[in-house]
Amino acid sequence: MSSRSKILDAIKKNKPQLSPLPEIPEFDNETVDKVAFLNEVMSIIGGVLEEIKDMDVLPSVVEAAYPNKKIIGSNIENFPLTTLDVNSIEDPHDLQNLDLIVLKGEFVVAENGAVWISEKDLVHRANAYITQHMALVVNREDLVWNMHQAYKRLELDRPGYGVFISGPSKTADIEQSLVIGAHGSRSMTLFLVG
Amino acid sequence: MDHPSAAAIFNKDEARTEWHDKALWYVRSKRDLSAKSIPEWEQLRQIASAIKAHALSNLDNYLVEFEENAKKNGITVHWAQDGKEHNEIVHSILKAKEVKKLVKSKSMLTEECHLNPYLEEKGIEVIDTDLGERIVQLSKEPPSHIVMPAIHKKKEDIGQLFHEKLGTEAGASDPQYLAEAARQHLRQNFLTADASLTGVNFAIAETGGVVVCTNEGNADLGVSLAPIHIASMGIEKLIPKAAHLGVFLRLLARSATGQPITSFSSHFHGPKPGSEMHIIIVDNGRTEQLGRDDFRKSLNCIRCGACMNTCPVYRRSGGHSYGYTVPGPIGSILSPGKDLKKYSSLPFASTLCGSCSDVCPVKIDIHTQLYKWRQIIAKEHELPWSKRQAMKVAGYMFSHPNMYRTAGKAGRAMLKVTPKTLVNGPWNVWGKSRDLPPPPKESFRDWYLKNRVKK
Ligand code: SF4
């Protein structure tokens, strides 16, 4: 008998009586100022929130936030600061000198500052991790309150990859001291557009 | 070695014990702040617990559903009954592609299976990439905590270790500097690895994918560069639907470190183009635990570590004193199911204060299970000698009320006049770094007879 059937048989034999699956309320919070909340959360998670009025100003605010970055990639079409066309790269190892990645995300969750980006928007999965710095861009109308609402928006049942990114890469493994920039991004700015 | 003896070694360095205690309590306090900021916290715990209970009660069907959907996503699914089979599967995947270097993110399961030494023996270099895990790997120790593997080490220890192994400056102990050195060292390994292995925080039956949560981004950096991704998971990681992640991701990081969510919550539903992805589903004693009515709920665990951070015994004895892959309260209810004799001292490594059960995000009745394991251990005569004698005396006392009363009176009188050095002698492990409260003037019985019965 295969291990698969042995394990499944053992479960059948040992599992308890079927218990019911609970309903999950949405736990919406209609009174909260989501942008103000997000702003506070960003400082807790080591990121920065910048509100901008439209996409036209994005290049100049990114430039101001990240001056003198040499190798810049983006998933935004014709983004003027781009110096490395990530679409043309085949082997993700060739992204290793990326200084800054500017990524348009799908939506952001106010309660924890998590921005959802799926594989197609990442171009390469490595883009989000190999870069030294990261700028994320989300439309103001794509701001939801909590994770329950976030999952209502998601379609996961297709092959691929997606990630919630909440702030820069960090570690507290040495005596609980927070160090920003563990393996990936050393900083993260979220630009909220509109 | 049993827990009291191992804890005694840890306690020799009083200042360090004190520091360890405080470091963990700090994490516990952050968890409290974070939990209190969510009005529906208790409701979320209730829901999480019920989802886990439901998933366990239908686990065979969910595993089959998961496998079917994972395959549709282009993932190869393997099944392993025990650690040995798991390791062999990993090796066969790596061997087929002549892998020389494997980068690994945190996975308690692979610790449980002793994967690293197995692969190293076969000539494969294994690099743990979580900073804490890398620290303990370099110093040839097991992790002492499931979320903060190197929490037992001071920055000076790590500075010395990195000086020896990574060539950092002698005497340097600034966390920022040390973390940067590790970043450079590990990046080279990420760029040259030909396979990556990750643990799994949640596996979703409905979508056939797995979720991995990290702060460092090490799991993703490994997976997004190397052409092979292996994800190892215990059967209990299954949840039915993606919507359930909303509940668990809200609870996990807040319970673990007080963060609202980890920096990266990655959803893997297939390999990246041109790569392969494998999932190994492991039993290794879990189906047995599923069959134990009193202990089944321990399989709810989402490995947040909150029960360790809050436990007064863990905080003052350190993770290594447990001698089991998963230390602390949860380890003490999981380990006896694996080997009752070997781990018979662990269910006693608790004050039964219940704080672990109070903080557990999936509402495992940890302290009740500790108590139940004690009863089984006592029945099976696995109790240490000193406990057995004490129990005999107590048993005799409790069945002879007059004698109990006299002994109580004598005890109260004695405590008043006995010097502290005698009460807190080396035989009294409870007296270590602790004083007894002043003895009460009268017993509860006397007080009750005087104040209540008369009325
Ligand atoms: S038993 Fe509960 S508190 Fe302890 S690690 Fe598991 S989920 Fe966290």
Render pLDDT for B339-382 as a digit per residue (tens, 0 to 9).
Answer: 999 999 999 999 999 999 999 999 999 999 999 999 999 988 77
The pLDDT assigned to B404 comes to 72
- The average confidence (pLDDT) of chain B is 92
The pLDDT assigned to B442 comes to 81
Give the number of residues written for chain A: 194
Tell me which chain B residue has its CA closest to the CA of residue A4. B79
User: Is there a single domain that holds both residue B219 and residue B269?
Assistant: yes
User: Is there a single domain that holds both residue B409 and residue B360?
Assistant: no
CB contact under 8 A, B287 and A14: yes
Question: Locate tokens 């080279």: which residue?
Answer: B188
Within an 8 Å CB–CB cutoff, is residue A1 touching chain B? no
Nearest CA to ligand 1 atom 6: B301
User: Is there a single domain that holds both residue B180 and residue B316?
Assistant: no
| pLDDT value at B7 more than 60 | yes
pTM: 0.91
Residues of chain B neighbouring A7 (CB-CB closer than 8 A): 63, 79, 81, 235, 281, 283, 287
- Calpha distance B373→B419 (Å, rounded): 36
Number of domains in chain B: 3
Note which residues in 160-179 of chain A have CB less than 8 A from chain B: 160-177, 179
CB contact under 8 A, A169 and B262: no
Going by the DSSP 8-state scheme, the letter that residue B85 receives in this structure is H
The pLDDT assigned to A193 comes to 98
CB contact under 8 A, A22 and B224: no
Residues of chain A neighbouring B177 (CB-CB closer than 8 A): none
Residue B403 lies in a domain: yes
Token output for A142: 């794509």
A/B interface, count of CB pairs below 8 Å: 256
The pLDDT assigned to B51 comes to 98
- Calpha distance A103→A65 (Å, rounded): 15
Render pLDDT for A138-190 as a digit per residue (tens, 0 to 9).
Answer: 999 999 999 999 999 998 767 799 999 999 999 999 998 999 999 999 999 99
The pLDDT assigned to B454 comes to 62
- Calpha distance B295→B333 (Å, rounded): 8
Cβ(B364) – ligand 1 distance below 6 Å: yes
Distance B68 CA to ligand 1 centre (A): 30
The pLDDT assigned to B380 comes to 85
Confidence of residue B432 (pLDDT cuts 50, 70, 90): low
Domain A32-193 in this protein, CATH class: alpha beta
Within an 8 Å CB–CB cutoff, is residue A53 touching chain B? no
Those residues of chain A that have pLDDT short of 70 are 157
Residues of chain A neighbouring B136 (CB-CB closer than 8 A): none
Residue B207 lies in a domain: yes
Tell me which chain A residue has its CA closest to the CA of residue B299. A15
At which of B229, B250, B284 does a domain end? B284
Token output for A98: 């990326």
Render pLDDT for B218-227 as a digit per residue (tens, 0 to 9).
Answer: 999 999 999 9
The pLDDT assigned to B417 comes to 67
Nearest to A175 among B154, B190, B262 (CB): B154
User: Is there a single domain that holds both residue B277 and residue B140?
Assistant: yes
Give the type of residue at A182: A
CB contact under 8 A, A151 and B246: yes
- Calpha distance B324→B320 (Å, rounded): 8
Give the number of residues written for chain B: 455
Give the list of residues 6+ apart from residue B418 with CB closer than 8 angstroms, or none: none
User: Is there a single domain that holds both residue B335 and residue B445?
Assistant: no
Pocket test for ligand 1, best of B46, B330, B366 (most atoms within 8 A of CB): B330
| pLDDT value at B385 more than 70 | no
Tell me which chain B residue has its CA closest to the CA of residue A120. B272
Note which residues in 81-110 of chain A have CB less than 8 A from chain B: 92-93, 96
User: Is there a single domain that holds both residue B333 and residue B423?
Assistant: no
Token output for B306: 């909150």
Calculate how close chain A gets to B453, using CA atoms only, in Å: 47
Within an 8 Å CB–CB cutoff, is residue A2 touching chain B? yes
Render pLDDT for B291-320 as a digit per residue (tens, 0 to 9).
Answer: 999 999 999 999 999 999 999 999 999 999
The pLDDT assigned to B401 comes to 74
Residue B5 lies in a domain: no
For residues B83 and B114, the answer to whether their CB atoms sit within 8 Å is yes
Within an 8 Å CB–CB cutoff, is residue A30 touching chain B? no
Name the 3-class secondary structure at A1. Answer: coil
Going by the DSSP 8-state scheme, the letter that residue A90 receives in this structure is -
Residue B9 lies in a domain: no
In chain A, where the domains are located:
32-193
Residue B206 lies in a domain: yes
User: Is there a single domain that holds both residue B150 and residue B176?
Assistant: yes
Tell me which chain A residue has its CA closest to the CA of residue B63. A8
Distance B254 CA to ligand 1 centre (A): 12
The stretch B388-402 carries a mean pLDDT of 71
> How many CB atoms sit inside 10 A of residue B339's CB?
11
The pLDDT assigned to B20 comes to 96
CB contact under 8 A, A163 and B266: yes
CB contact under 8 A, A151 and B243: yes
CB contact under 8 A, A159 and B73: yes
User: Is there a single domain that holds both residue B357 and residue B256?
Assistant: no
| pLDDT value at B386 more than 70 | no
For residues B311 and B356, the answer to whether their CB atoms sit within 8 Å is yes
CB contact under 8 A, A22 and B51: yes
Calculate how close chain A gets to B75, using CA atoms only, in Å: 9
| pLDDT value at B410 more than 80 | no
The pLDDT assigned to B245 comes to 98
Pocket test for ligand 1, best of B28, B108, B251, B255 (most atoms within 8 A of CB): B255
Confidence of residue B416 (pLDDT cuts 50, 70, 90): low
User: Is there a single domain that holds both residue B368 and residue B392?
Assistant: no
At which of B353, B379, B405 does a domain end? B379
CB contact under 8 A, A19 and B57: yes
Residue B17 lies in a domain: no
Residue A82 Cα to chain centre, angstroms:
20
Residues of chain B neighbouring A171 (CB-CB closer than 8 A): 131-132, 179, 215-216
User: What CATH number did the domain enclosing B240 receive?
Assistant: 3.40.50.10420
Residue B78 lies in a domain: yes
Distance B45 CA to ligand 1 centre (A): 12
The stretch B181-191 carries a mean pLDDT of 97
What are the phi and psi torsion angles at B79 (to 5°)? -125, 135
- Burial class of residue A65, CB neighbours in 10 A (0-12, 13-18, 19+): middle
Write out the DSSP string of B367-419.
HHHHHHHHHHHHHTT-S-HHHHHHHHHHHHHHT-HHHHHHHHHHHHHHHHHS-
Atom of ligand 1 nearest to the CA of B146: 5
Token output for A181: 């920039």
Tell me which chain B residue has its CA closest to the CA of residue A161. B268
ipTM score over 0.95, yes or no:
yes
| pLDDT value at B108 more than 80 | yes
Calculate how close chain B gets to A92, using CA atoms only, in Å: 6
Confidence of residue B436 (pLDDT cuts 50, 70, 90): low
Token output for A24: 């999950």
| pLDDT value at B325 more than 80 | yes
User: Is there a single domain that holds both residue B189 and residue B327?
Assistant: no
Domain that holds residue B231: 38-284
Cβ(B297) – ligand 1 distance below 6 Å: no
User: Is there a single domain that holds both residue B123 and residue B245?
Assistant: yes
| pLDDT value at B402 more than 80 | no
Q: What percentage of chain B reaches a pLDDT higher than 90?
A: 83
Pocket test for ligand 1, best of B307, B308, B324, B363 (most atoms within 8 A of CB): B307
Render pLDDT for B14-61 as a digit per residue (tens, 0 to 9).
Answer: 999 999 999 999 999 999 999 999 999 999 999 999 999 999 999 999
Residue B293 lies in a domain: no
The pLDDT assigned to A129 comes to 97
Atom of ligand 1 nearest to the CA of B328: 4
